[in-house]
Amino acid sequence: MKDRLARLGIKDINSGISTVLYHWNGQGELIDSFSPTNDSRIASVNLGSADDFEKILSIAQSAFLEWRTVPAPKRGEIVRQMGDSFRVHKEDLGHLVSYEMGKSLQEGLGEVQEIIDICDFAVGLSRQLYGLTMHSERPQHRMYEQWHPLGIVGIISAFNFPVAVWSWNAMLAWVCGDVCVWKPSEKAPLSAIACQNIIAKVLKDNNVSEGVSSLIVGDRNIGELMSKDARVALVSATGSTRMGKAVAQNVAARLGKSLLELGGNNAIIVTENADLKLAVPAIVFGAVGTAGQRCTSTRRLIVHNSLKDRLVESLVSAYGQMKIGDPLNKENHIGPLIDEAAVEMYLNAITSALNNGGELKYGGNLLTNLGKCYVEPTIIEVKEQIEVVCNETFAPILYVMAYETLEEAITLQNAVPQGLSSAIFTNNMQESEWFLSNAGSDCGIANVNIGTSGAEIGGAFGGEKETGGGRESGSDAWKAYMRRQTNTINYGKSLPLAQGIKFDF
């Protein structure tokens, strides 16, 4: 691992990190990054201070004035080079993500692949920042709309996807002509620093100001400064609903723009017409992938009464085949939770569910022989959607509920505060169409015969209700990073007014 870190610009895992870029080598408290895989210290990072934040924003402002004048396809060419650089560093960065965050190596590598994919998407987008042309009611007038960059985009990312979600924002923002200031999670700072090092070299090779991409490792105080600063045109924040509400209030108070990707409490409905050969692997991956620490993790299973016992039996059998351990070992499916606080939340949620009538079907134990943060994936059957089921717990806990009618199942699915991802397994066309209709799922993502996890970058990613309403990645999510302008050109020799108004003098 030491050699991989060195190739990513993290040169000393014993005495901390040395760098010439003050962007993330701040003046604040020194914190350690520990791997939850073995509780070992990887490196130390200085948190950024308020003074550091001020310096970064000043540099970002200056960089924006130049970056916005670069033609969008030229900006796309630089993003293309970034994608190529991430291809070169995919193995090293994927290993670091896995080691620092605790997800399986395949998921760590997959996260870096998401960066590469969004780079490819953004390159094409750089030639497709389309506006519309409208017909004017006034003779010899032309109307159209165009899109301009916003300015500084602040990105607050979470530990569970320490690099991919940042890239969804940054790559689009850059081709749109914005500059980015990134505050990663303090729980996974090294993965972010590695990305910054990769980006910095590409910018330097193209004689682009490093202020186009700034990074500051900081605590919630830095996040608060970012959300309150009017120079930050858009704050894109990924994390808990509690955090998102605080960001939204601060940004709204100054009439700024926010893009929020918050909690998820995702359900899979399995009807009596489902193919269980499809459903079982989707449920297992959705529930235990990343040790249940995805915003799109499957947390609730709503299954038709006629299939419940059979499906639970199949899941228990599948869970028993899951290999838990060091995520860098490709044979293992599940790594640790991020830290001991997450373990405590896991235990508290299980206790609450069992105290309120839940029945433990599988798991529920700590795996202290592997380390402090390893837990068993857990299945709990509940008779009704009790309070703990309605809350998001970032852990591999799956709650199973039975239903009789599809209307009842959809009502159960929608009866939580969050609205990110949802899925139904059925071979009945009427059931699938009902689920996708305006009387069906109220989530931003609704799938048929695939699970709740595994979003592709081509589609807009995000959810409704307490998930925040933001959209990132594909489709027309790029519009969040730009401002719309309507233009009218009079190429005639008279000045007719709209709606036939006369104003003679």
What is the pLDDT at residue 481? 98
Q: Which residues pair with 493 in a beta bridge?
A: none
Q: Where are the alpha helices (DSSP H) in 229-379?
A: 241-253, 276-288, 305-319, 340-355
281 CB-near residues (< 8 Å, 6+ apart): 318
The backbone torsions φ and ψ at residue 173, rounded to the nearest 5 degrees and listed phi first, read -60, -40
Position 20 scores a pLDDT of 31
**Distance of CA 4 to CAs 89, 91, 93, 304, 339, Å?**
9, 9, 8, 49, 23
Residue given tokens 């869970």 in the structure block: 319
C-alpha distances in angstroms, 420 versus 96, 343, 453?
Answer: 28, 24, 10
Tokens of 132: 């519309």
- How far is Cα of residue 439 from the mean position of the Cα atoms in its chain? 27
Instruction: Indicate the pTM of the whole model.
Output: 0.95
28: β partners: none
Weakly modelled stretches of the chain, pLDDT under 50: 13-24
Catalytic residue among 107, 111, 261, 431: 261
H or E element at residue 410? helix 406-414
d(CA 100, CA 6): 15
User: What is the pLDDT, as a whole number, of residue 2?
Assistant: 84
Listed by start position, the domains of the chain span: 2-262+468-485, 266-448
Rg (CA), the chain: 24
CA 466, CA 17: separation in Å to the nearest integer? 38
Burial group, residue 16, by CB count within 10 angstroms (0-12, 13-18, 19+) = middle
Q: Which residue has the tokens 């010899």?
A: 140
**Which among 171, 161, 405 has a CA at the least distance from the CA of 294?**
161
pLDDT in tens, 158-181: 999 999 999 999 999 999 999 999
In this prediction, residue 25 carries a pLDDT of: 60
Specify the amino acid at residue 201: K
237 three-state secondary structure: strand
Distance between first and last Cα of the chain: 80
Question: In 195-231, at which residue ranges do the beta strands (DSSP E only) sit?
Answer: 213-215
Token pair belonging to 238: 């990924």
In CATH terms, the fold of domain 266-448 is Aldehyde Dehydrogenase; Chain A, domain 2 (3.40.309)
259 in Cβ contact with 238 (< 8 Å) = no
Tell me what pLDDT residue 497 has.
Answer: 86
Task: Check residue 13 and give its pLDDT.
Answer: 47
pLDDT at 12: 56
Is it true that 2-262+468-485 and 266-448 share their CATH fold? Answer: no
Measured between alpha carbons, how far is 31 from 103 in angstroms, rounded to an integer? 22
Q: Does domain 2-262+468-485 have CATH number 3.40.605.10?
A: yes
Active site annotation includes 456: no
CA proximity to 112, closest of 166, 64, 181: 166
